[in-house]
Amino acid sequence: MNKPGPIVRYRLDAYDRIRSVSEDWLAFARRNGAAHLDESVVGQSIWRFIDGRETRELYRLLFERVRDWGTPVSFPLRCDSPEQRRYLTLTIQPAEQEGLELQTETVREEPRPAVPLFETLLGAEGDQLTVCSWCKRVLVNGEAWVEAEEAIERLDLFGDAPMPNISYGICPACKASIRATLEEPPPLKST
Ligand SMILES: [Zn+2]
């Protein structure tokens, strides 16, 4: 399955509050079992929905950069559902009145056997497990970042052990790539 998916958009105001969400965004949330994400998110701070100290810090830097320079940034992101690996491109661009528009475009989706890891965020009581917010790889034994399927095998998560608590962080590869985006020189103004 390689058909490109919908482009979903939402906008933030100057204070990072969600100003509007596109119809596609609502449909995307419903299809992905996030039906609690409906029009009621409008008016709420985006920071309520971004987990992990380091991830929040990088988003803050990216937002600041887009506002300061008035030019968009784009980078790859994973947003999996239990049965699908989903590769997205996230673009953050300036919008009117110091706002921002965030747009995600599905680049490709790959079906896989259902991975329970991302369904069990609630009620989890096992060990703490760190997942990269950007590529969704999982930190195994404090040393290797691997795909969820491999983590489940290596950690025997299908065994009797309780499902782990998940905390969000960032893996070294994603950190390097976001840092590189932040360090790119500003484009030359053509005017
Ligand atoms: Zn990563």
* Domain 7-183: CATH architecture, name and number where available: 2-Layer Sandwich (3.30)
Q: What is the whole-number distance in angstroms between the Cα of residue 156 and the centre of ligand 1? A: 22
- Residues in contact with 94: Cβ distance below 8 Å, sequence separation at least 6, in sequence order: 66, 67, 70, 71, 72, 100, 101
- Residues in contact with 56: Cβ distance below 8 Å, sequence separation at least 6, in sequence order: 47, 50
Q: What are phi and psi of 72, to 5 degrees?
A: -75, 160
Residue 90 corresponds to which tokens in the numbers above?
């996230």
Structural domain spans, the chain: 7-183
* Helix-helix angle 172-183:53-69, to 10 degrees: 20
Residues of the chain with pLDDT under 70: 1-6, 32-35, 116-127, 156-164, 189-191
- Residues in contact with 101: Cβ distance below 8 Å, sequence separation at least 6, in sequence order: 9, 10, 11, 12, 92, 93, 94, 95
Alpha carbon distances (Å) from 63 to 79, 91, 95, 110: 20, 11, 11, 30
Q: What is the whole-number distance in angstroms between the Cα of residue 110 and the centre of ligand 1? A: 18
Radius of gyration over alpha carbons of the chain, in Å?
17
Q: What is the whole-number distance in angstroms between the Cα of residue 35 and the centre of ligand 1? A: 26
CA triple 101-36-1, angle to 5 deg: 70
Q: What is the whole-number distance in angstroms between the Cα of residue 178 and the centre of ligand 1? A: 10
Q: What is the whole-number distance in angstroms between the Cα of residue 146 and the centre of ligand 1? A: 9
- Residues in contact with 123: Cβ distance below 8 Å, sequence separation at least 6, in sequence order: 163
